[in-house]
Copies of this chain bind each other. A is one copy, B any other.
């Protein structure tokens, strides 16, 4: 066991659920891989593109490890043989609320957008799911559509229960069009929708009241508009 690369994985050696979870998920890049897979199956090369800096060996090793632990599984996308991809197995899928919780927490800690930062429009989908405050869902049934660069997704509120989905909304009460960086900045509270619109980075169409309800649902400050003045919960 002295030989380097002999495979004895590092462990916290604590008989505790959290330590066991971190023995599987705690290494660098692992939870970001899970994040990508939360938005559907991905191929090896897709992951490389959306995780800049990971390095091919690390990605391969992490994937192999996660498959071995039953968190991720390989699937055959189309036809036999080639075109295979990775997707979450059930234990991986059950990480969704945890990863979204972390993403929500981290929203309060995103810094200024630096030129070194990468942004991906499909992260907007995750951001919406993470920002959700279901208890703030309006009593009115309606849906909102988001177009973040080339990604389109929507939120539908029905009977005070909000849900996110891919693709365009059916008869949306609001349509917001923006780029990925602006989207995240608004979600993080570092930019108000107002400023984003004035500076031409955000376009909103639809009913003004619906816009307010949508912002409420996502915990976005509307910028001292009408309505009850609510203390920022931060």
Contacts and interface: CB of A to CB of B under 8 A. Distances in A.
Interface of A: 9, 11-26, 28, 31-32, 35, 52-53, 68-69, 91, 94-95, 97-99, 101-111, 113-114, 116-120, 123, 126-127, 130, 180-181, 184, 187-188, 232-234
B118 A17 contact: no
A99 B18 contact: yes
B102 A22 contact: yes
Nearest to A38: B18
B35 A126 contact: no
Given A20-B111, A21-B103, A69-B232, A117 B13 contact: yes
A69 to B, nearest CB: 7
A167 to B, nearest CB: 22
A20 B187 CA distance: 13
Contacts of A24: 106, 109
B118 A15 contact: yes
Contact of A12 (B11, B14, B32): B32
Given A14-B120, A15-B123, 14 more contacts: A12-B32, A14-B118, A15-B113, A16-B120, A16-B123, A17-B103, A19-B106, A20-B107, A21-B102, A22-B102, A22-B106, A24-B109, A26-B26, A94-B105
Of listed A12, A14, A108, A118, residue having the most chain B CB within 10 A: A14
Contacts of A106: 16-24
Nearest to A187: B17
Contacts of A130: 17-18
A150 to B, nearest CB: 17
